[in-house]
Structure 1
């Protein structure tokens, strides 16, 4: 009967495979660090205060902050008061991008953050729980001489969270509050060259609209989009990695189907892991360059969620099917207690994503964090997902502990065997432990990537070269998971080495001379035997007694 490649491959060949994978891993980091630019770019905008002299609510005129058709603008609200211009006739206009530049589909998405510059006034302070009502419109065009076409329009509310660090007195009037950044807009594709935002802050004292929000001086926006150069490198990586994973997956399953027995649970889970990796690899993003697919961000989140859910489930089943003295195995139903929290947590995150980016497909200005109810709902989903993640971690730690304790117990029987047999089993035990440590290292690198991406400034200077740290981790972590899945499918595919029929039964057979003719039976993988390694443990104990 055929064992797994990891069981039958010589140490020399295994080291060669490991070195090759390590070189590819280093190359994946270098692609992002030395070739790709920073993943994203942030551009700061200051809104221009345009004057709308027409008071018709059905007016569809768009106000340009600069250019040949620029609006009539004012520099400050003091000027507006001097000219008798009401707050309802002021439109904050922002053109994206800045003059003499244009947007590109390679930017992939556009995220806009809002910040108010609010001055402190004794007679006009910010009230507790103040809400800003925003009447905002988004338009686009692809030619500087064409008319603007409305893309979205919405009436939004944003809760102010401002702090005045100085003493609230007449002496400090005019100093600005320190206000938190507010989520404002997110568009899932950048299909047009030019975008225009017109923002109004309507005032209605009778309805308490925009009352108690302080004296707003300016509106600042921060536009964030993916760098076109990074997008091209990212697409190239996905295009190269897709066929590699697809080919190894087909090769792996072909070897499984050539065996005389049906596939066991671990084999099916490894195939499912390969399918999920292929699903996340397929570079459908190429189409987003030519089509206005605003759902690509949501689709990317779903693909990533499916892969990580499959990966977490794989680790549980991988530990459970290896070196665990349990009476039942090779059935998915026995892992429902461990896999259940993974599925439930992933479902909660999916609902959260649909409540945010799903709604943004219709209204790019929507944010689940804009209201107290939305914030509580979002936090509830995140907390539930976090609890499920903690439960998963405890289950996984317990199973890994059981695996290693089991290994230690079985190694006590090895000194009673022949030297050759000891070396054989020691090698198998070492390979399994090494694979588990590699798995933990991959998970640790993923966590480190998340932390560095949040706190690092983005690049290091190394001599004359600039290393883009965030880009290196993006491409490196993505390449790492591809290499990990590739290695799992390759090492756990059935080997081309076969054994006799009397050995394929999974029993230890002893000849007349007392020589065990089943000494080549494998130890660490259940894919060699449907009954799992429990029977092999019994065999080791019997050999030790003999």
Structure 2
């Protein structure tokens, strides 16, 4: 009867996992895009000295009204005569949002702005690439206000260096990629103003003033309001559920028979449950009331902590069933190689995150991708983390195959056991097969979400008259899958209050199967 009930429970839990993942996927697919992008062409103001304005001690910002007072505004058509405007007198500016009557919302959650530079002809960018002079230096200042009119308050200012990558397209026309300009971890204010000043342009000895430029623009990306609301709802629902399951799991561990020593696998489940609760708490709601520029870094840290716990649980749980030395109790130090790989990948990803978004909390214009030296350092961090992740994947696949083959071989030896013991072990074998299957499924889906290009964030898949947000579906589906997987594994392997009648062991205790495999391996 035990194996029958175990079989039904495995089928039920697998259905719940797949069903919840599909439901979350559909919610995301039918929902809004996760992000929205807006193009902002920059206006040109001719003033006596743009450099003095950017570094003005009064911290004033240039907008349409200030430009009329201090100088004159130049239309985009007049850039055809840009050689008449020296760089020291030219200042580019644009409000965000572009229309004065519009305002930003705190539900936008973050603000990422890229710089786009268009040239009149392909000759200039070709010369830049030829002479390796495609780094543009600028002085930029960022201001804000919380009314649709009135003075601006300076938020940040500084010098930036951005490398512009240009290449000919399929029509032979040279186009240039956008360069990251700044990032804000929260969108707390109603309007923003960007002032941009080029002290000089590359190859200024060959080209006069702003003559190479056709247009300077900003491309702003923020999280969509509808997706933010959807994300708040998902976290507000899943957070209390994960807390309840964790409390129940800890209660079962505390009230189980004292003769049952807590296994390493169960201790890792507890840690994974704590990190899931920490990840599910909707701290994002704070951004609706407070300016939280650190929120993006904090959210990435929470997700990284849960993923590290998840990966550690996967590799150690599988390895626990591959031991052949007869040991019944192990510690985290036993798997120092596996944990070392996980910690190495997480550490270098955290260093990269801190060096990029961490510094942007206090200086939003900073970017590791601003010059070739920092780009090289960034690729070192990413390269070491990627190699560690690849090594982990190989170790996990080898351990999974070994555990599955060992399980298949040991199943043939169950016929020599008594009927009650055989039924008990058949149930444990079914549970472990379920664990292996869903673990591989979750791992594949998680990796697929990570490696997909970020350009999908702004794309929709159209089928007939219907449009589906693919990236939003992956985000919500992956989030729901992680929650369903963790909670179901905790429920499946929670210690029982009663002993099995045959040998006084808990039928849900993973150590019972581990002891059986270890014992059989020694024989």
Aligned to 1:3: none
Secondary structure at the aligned position of 2:290 is classed as coil
Give the structure with the larger helix fraction. 2
- Verify: 1:43 aligned to 2:35, yes or no: no
Counterpart pick for 1:533 among 507, 516, 521: 516
RMSD after superposition: 3.3
Partner of residue 197, structure 2 = 200
In structure 1, what is the equivalent of residue 228 of structure 2? 231
Offset of residue 107 of structure 1: 0.3
Contact 2:10 2:430 in 1 (8 A): no
CA–CA distance in structure 1, aligned partners of residues 265 and 471 of structure 2: 35
User: Aligned to 1:532, what secondary structure does the other structure show?
Assistant: helix
Q: Which residue of 2 aligns with 1:302?
A: 301
Contact 2:83 2:208 in 1 (8 A): no
CA distance in 2, matches of 1:211, 1:335: 65
What is the alpha-carbon distance in structure 1 between the residues aligned to residue 320 and residue 170 of structure 2?
A: 63
Cα 1:413/1:372, change in 2 over 3 Å: same
- Structure 1 pair 122/103, CA: closer, same or farther in 2 (3 Å)? closer
Contact 2:60 2:153 in 1 (8 A): no
1:255-270 to structure 2, matched below 5 A, reads: 255-259=252-256, 260-261=258-259, 262-270=261-269
CA deviation after TM superposition for structure 1 residue 373, in Å: 1.3
Aligned position for 1:317: 316
User: Which residue of the partner structure matches residue 495 of structure 1?
Assistant: 496
How far, CA to CA, are the matches of 2:205 and 2:293 in structure 1?
A: 36
- CA change 1:8–1:325 in 2 (3 A) is farther
Paired residue for 1:412?
Answer: 412
In structure 2, C-alpha distance between the alignment counterparts of 1:123 and 1:254, rounded to whole Å: 70
Distance between the aligned counterparts of 1:163 and 1:213, measured in 2? Answer: 21
Residues 304-324 of structure 1, C-alpha deviation per residue, up to 9 Å, x if partnerless? Answer: 111111111101111122253
Q: Does 1:252 align with 2:253?
A: no
Q: Displacement of 1:534 after TM fit?
A: 4.0
| Distance change >3 Å, CA 527–CA 8, structure 1 → 2 | farther
The question of whether the paired residues in 2 share the 8 Å contact of 1:118 and 1:177 is answered with: no
Tell me, yes or no, if the aligned pair for 1:50 and 1:91 is still in contact at 8 Å. yes
Mapped contact 2:284–2:295 kept (Cα < 8 A): yes
Q: 1:143 aligned to 142, 147, 150, which one?
A: 147
1:272 paired with 2:271, answer yes
Partner Cα distance (2:267, 2:5) in 1:
22
**Matching residue of 1:74:** 74
Pair 1:28-2:27 in alignment: no
Larger Rg: 1
Q: Secondary structure at the match of 1:368?
A: coil
Structure 1 residues 268 and 299 mapped into 2: Cα distance closer, same or farther (>3 Å)?
same
Measure, in 1, the Cα distance between the counterparts of 2:414 and 2:439: 26
Partner of 1:339: 339
Could you tell me whether the CA contact under 8 Å between 1:298 and 1:358 is conserved in 2? yes
**Which residue number corresponds to residue 102 of structure 1?**
103
Comparing 213-222 with 280-289, which one deviates more in the overlay?
A: 213-222
CA deviations 1:178-211 (Å, max 9, x no partner) are: 2122111111000001000010111399999999
- Structure 1 position 74, deviation (Å): 1.4
The one-character-per-residue Cα deviations of 1:232-268 (angstroms, maximum 9, x if unpaired) are 1101111111111111111111111112144221111
Q: Answer with 396-405 or 480-489: which moved more.
A: 396-405
